[in-house]
Amino acid sequence: MLRVLVTGGNGQLANCIKEVSVNHKDSINLVYRSSKELDITDRDAVYEAFQEEDYHYCINTAAYTNVDGAEKDIENANLVNQIGPKNLAEVCNQNNIVLIHISTDFVFDGMQSVPYSEKDSTNALGEYGRSKLKGEQAIESVCDKYFIIRTSWLYSGHGSNFLKSMLKYGRERDSLSVVYDQVGTPTNAIDLAEVIFSILRSRVDTYGIYHYSNEGVASWYDFAKAIFDINKVDVQLLPIRTDAYPLPAKRPSFSVLDKGKIKKLLKIEIPYWRDSLKKACNTLE
């Protein structure tokens, strides 16, 4: 039986991992720790948590994910997104535990016009992206056995995300404006959870950074349009430029990820974003 500790146990991705885990319960035992049960910024607490059990893997889904909030709350963003992963990486390295850590497309500046590969230069535009990048670097410097999976635009039936915000606003308002000049790929967090199980089950040991999102390319406007079409929400949707929707944090205008490396590693086909969105919408309450 594989023993796995999941941090950030109440978050969106952790809940998707829980949902998918029912298909693997005979071979994988997952222990979830919420932010209250295990604060990853507390080094002693992290060390203690790993003494409770002999874990084989740690999946770090814990993060400071408020992109605009991070612009003012830099210290906390860095604590959770840099120091937390560093604590986990140290304890994993000492105990021969494989760390699976989740990072983001926001480590890139969006200046490319072709999908970003793992080898492309990073240059985060905002504090959230910068703190996540520092987290990646901390893991790389202290730990040998790690998978860092950069993903983008996660949504699901769990937690708060763009899909759920759009459905709420779309039903409350007559019209909605969404940016069409930021392009990336929406990713069903259930698909990401499946990929994490694929790593656990295959026990692959080609450690490093990997990119994973759903297949295809969309703007946030395209994503919103698909959400309203699939859910038959009758709302006027207006395409706008980023400068017409000012926010504290600058976001990349292009953050499509090249997923060739993970496809080869796990021998997987990745679902097209619109197909995965339909699936997620079918299971929404």
Ligand X SMILES: NC(=O)C1=CN([C@@H]2O[C@H](COP(=O)(O)OP(=O)(O)OC[C@H]3O[C@@H](n4cnc5c(N)ncnc54)[C@H](OP(=O)(O)O)[C@@H]3O)[C@@H](O)[C@H]2O)C=CC1
Q: Which candidate in 55, 64, 116, 128 is catalytic?
A: 128
**Is 55 noted as a catalytic residue in this protein?**
no
The β-bridge relationship of strands 218-219 and 183-184 is antiparallel
Query: Applying CB under 6 A, which of residues 106, 147, 210, 254 lies at the interface with ligand TDO?
Result: 106
DSSP three-state, residue 178: strand
Residue 89 touches which of ligand X, ligand TDO, none (Cβ within 5-8 Å per kind): none
* By CB under 6 A, residue 87 contacts ligand X: no
Q: Show the CA angle centred on residue 233, arms to residues 161 and 246, nearest 5°.
A: 50
Which token pair is 253? 């205008």
Pick one of ligand X, ligand TDO, none as the site partner of residue 179 (Cβ within 5 to 8 A by kind): ligand TDO
The window from 28-36, 100-108, 192-200, 231-239 that contacts ligand TDO (CB under 6 A) reads 100-108
- Please give the residues from 107 up to 146 whose contact with ligand X meets the rule CB under 6 A: 132
Is 239 buried (19+), middle (13-18) or exposed (0-12) by CB count in 10 A? middle
Q: 207: which 2 tokens? A: 């450690």
Kindly tell me which residue out of 78, 82, 104, 214 binds ligand X, with binding defined by CB under 6 A: 104
Distance CA 163, CA 178 (A): 13
Strand partners, 237: 176
Sign, CA dihedral 136-138-140-145, equals: negative
Among 6, 46, 63, 143, which residue interacts with ligand X (rule: CB under 6 A)?
A: 63
> Interface with ligand X includes 154 (CB under 6 A)?
yes
Nearer to ligand TDO, 40 or 49 (CB): 40
Contact 145, 207 (CB under 8 A): yes
CA distance 153 to 186: 5
What is the nearest approach in angstroms of ligand X to the Cβ of residue 140? Answer: 16
Least CB distance to ligand TDO at residue 205 (A)? 27
220 binds ligand TDO (CB under 6 A): yes
Contact status: 182 vs ligand TDO (CB under 6 A): yes
Helices 162-172, 273-282: axis angle to 10 degrees equals 60
Residues that bind ligand TDO (CB under 6 A): 65, 67, 104-106, 152-154, 162, 165, 176-179, 182, 220, 245, 247, 251
Catalytically active residues, by annotation: 128
